[in-house]
Chain A
């Protein structure tokens, strides 16, 4: 059975609208269409409109990989299904197109210097293979396991253990910090500086890593000292 797949250009990239029917068929049709004009589409980022179709991370991940082979970046998945949205998020994909304004108009504007700035809260452990990327701060309540990564434009705050890869100040902010209850990342980056964890013996303490004299240093958190 044929599944309708349409491709058109929009401001944000390529918009692909997939109709109802077997997913196998839909993804095959899509990949065929893209392959026909592989040179034209190479390097594009893709917005996938799936309607109410319920999809798991494995199917979406497979499509992302197949698109990756064509050097097309699966960027956003638009869906009315909570399962599909969760799966997309689990793969680190966007689930909405960026709004013209960063915040909904009902909220009073905040002053970054006084009231704080934009952050997302990740309320679970990030297992191997998961990736969270955000231009603001990232707060994780849970662990960042080895094989997972967090990339933040601002700070990374972890109420848990860090074993994976963490990058703060990814746009070059050398003031950014990384805090965790137990900080032993595979690799830590702040702005342009890179560090790996020394082998630790004994009990972990809460630590904050920052750049000092061009190098990343991690300092134990002491209650009466403010960073």
Chain B
């Protein structure tokens, strides 16, 4: 088995990288894949909270890098999904405690055992971002339909391309169809027009995401949740399935039209 390393990154902070990492990982694992998430945001860890595994941390990635723990010892198994694991970040260290070469070594070891290794990148273009990019096989850019987030995503895409890790794919998070309709928010077409990369998901604004994150229950595991459905669709697209884009606003033909625009049936 040789797993795929997926890096989730954005440039701008707070757009939903950690939420996206947790939910795609949960959806993939619920579907039977073996998945490990790595929190590459050293010093500001929170993937453990979103996955509800905070109180089970004994060792973290810095322990592994420094040889104080074996990789296996730092892997926390999810309480709901036996195929899902987390390697947490250290909360009390800074980013210089891990180097890109460490991440490459760790991911090489994990590829043998897992189908997907999901890396949650910190914001910015500094060391933490480079750590998350170095071992990557596939880069997923998360953005919000806002001018500043799109501008930073564009910058990151340029960096990913010049590292020859591209082409990345795009997730647009926190879209509000009624605001788009009023012309108060960038539309999906507006964002794609600038970034010109492949879209693999659109996630609506949903307060259940905040509630789920606070409780450590990713919405992707809630069968009834619309945003959860969006994350499950992304997971299936990552596995190579053709999944039509959801109609986020039933009255409006906008999103169904989008499905046709992007790629037929995709």
Mark A residues whose CB is within 8 Å of B: 22, 24, 56-59, 61-62, 83, 86-87, 90-91, 125, 127-130, 145-147, 163
Min C-beta distance of A115 to chain B, whole Å: 34
Cα distance, A147 to B149, chains bound together (Å): 12
Cα distance, A22 to B161, chains bound together (Å): 23
B152:A125 contact, CB within 8 angstroms: no
Q: Across the interface, which residues of B come within 8 angstroms of A24, CB to CB? A: 99
Q: Across the interface, which residues of B come within 8 angstroms of A146, CB to CB? A: 151, 154, 194
Min C-beta distance of B104 to chain A, whole Å: 12
Identify 30 residue pairs between A and B in the complex whose beta-carbon atoms are under 8 Å apart, listed by A's number: A24-B99, A56-B162, A56-B163, A57-B163, A58-B163, A59-B130, A61-B159, A62-B126, A62-B127, A62-B130, A86-B162, A87-B162, A90-B161, A90-B162, A125-B196, A127-B154, A127-B155, A127-B157, A127-B161, A128-B151, A128-B152, A128-B155, A128-B158, A129-B154, A129-B158, A145-B154, A146-B154, A147-B154, A147-B155, A163-B194
Does B125 make an interface contact (CB < 8 A)? Answer: yes
Min C-beta distance of B196 to chain A, whole Å: 7
The interface residues of chain A, by DSSP majority, are classed as loop
Q: Across the interface, which residues of A come within 8 angstroms of B130, CB to CB? A: 56, 58-59, 62
Interface residues of B in 140-189 (CB under 8 A from A): 151-152, 154-155, 157-159, 161-164
Min C-beta distance of A46 to chain B, whole Å: 20
Q: Across the interface, which residues of A come within 8 angstroms of B126, CB to CB? A: 62
Q: Interface extent on B, as a size class?
A: 20 to 34
Q: Across the interface, which residues of A come within 8 angstroms of B151, CB to CB? A: 128, 146-147
B162:A57 contact, CB within 8 angstroms: yes
Cα distance, A103 to B54, chains bound together (Å): 63
* Given contacts A24-B99, A128-B158, A83 and B164 within 8 Å (CB-CB): yes
Does B90 make an interface contact (CB < 8 A)? Answer: no
Q: Across the interface, which residues of B come within 8 angstroms of A62, CB to CB? A: 126-127, 130
Does B199 make an interface contact (CB < 8 A)? Answer: no
Does B203 make an interface contact (CB < 8 A)? Answer: no
Which of B133, B151, B158 is most buried by chain A, counting CB atoms within 10 A of its CB? B158
Which chain B residue has the least Cβ–Cβ distance from A56? B163
Q: Across the interface, which residues of A come within 8 angstroms of B133, CB to CB? A: 58
Min C-beta distance of B125 to chain A, whole Å: 7
Q: Across the interface, which residues of B come within 8 angstroms of A125, CB to CB? A: 196
- CB-based closest 7 A-B pairs: A127-B158, A90-B162, A128-B154, A129-B155, A57-B162, A128-B155, A56-B163
Q: Across the interface, which residues of B come within 8 angstroms of A91, CB to CB? A: 162
Does B85 make an interface contact (CB < 8 A)? Answer: no
Partner of B125, one of A22, A61, A147: A61
Q: Across the interface, which residues of B come within 8 angstroms of A56, CB to CB? A: 130, 162-163
B158:A58 contact, CB within 8 angstroms: no
In the complex, given contacts A56-B130, A58-B130, A61-B125, what are 12 additional A-B residue pairs having Cβ atoms less than 8 angstroms apart?
A: A56-B162, A58-B125, A59-B130, A86-B162, A86-B164, A90-B158, A91-B162, A127-B154, A128-B155, A129-B154, A145-B154, A146-B154
Does B129 make an interface contact (CB < 8 A)? Answer: yes
Q: Across the interface, which residues of A come within 8 angstroms of B99, CB to CB? A: 24
Min C-beta distance of A181 to chain B, whole Å: 14
Q: Across the interface, which residues of B come within 8 angstroms of A129, CB to CB? A: 154-155, 158-159
Cα distance, A129 to B151, chains bound together (Å): 9
Cα distance, A129 to B154, chains bound together (Å): 8
Cα distance, A163 to B164, chains bound together (Å): 25
Cα distance, A129 to B156, chains bound together (Å): 9
Q: Across the interface, which residues of B come within 8 angstroms of A57, CB to CB? A: 159, 162-163
Which of A125, A127, A145 is most buried by chain B, counting CB atoms within 10 A of its CB? A127
Cα distance, A59 to B134, chains bound together (Å): 11
Which chain B residue has the least Cβ–Cβ distance from A129? B155
B218-248 near A? 1/0 per residue, CB < 8 Å: 0000000000000000000000000000000
Q: Across the interface, which residues of B come within 8 angstroms of A90, CB to CB? A: 158-159, 161-162
Cα distance, A91 to B163, chains bound together (Å): 11
Which chain A residue has the least Cβ–Cβ distance from B152? A128
Which chain B residue has the least Cβ–Cβ distance from A65? B126
Which chain A residue has the least Cβ–Cβ distance from B164? A83
Min C-beta distance of A26 to chain B, whole Å: 13
B103-128 near A? 1/0 per residue, CB < 8 Å: 00000000000000000000001110
Which chain B residue has the least Cβ–Cβ distance from A146? B151
Min C-beta distance of B71 to chain A, whole Å: 22
Interface residues of B in 193-215 (CB under 8 A from A): 194, 196
Cα distance, A44 to B125, chains bound together (Å): 26
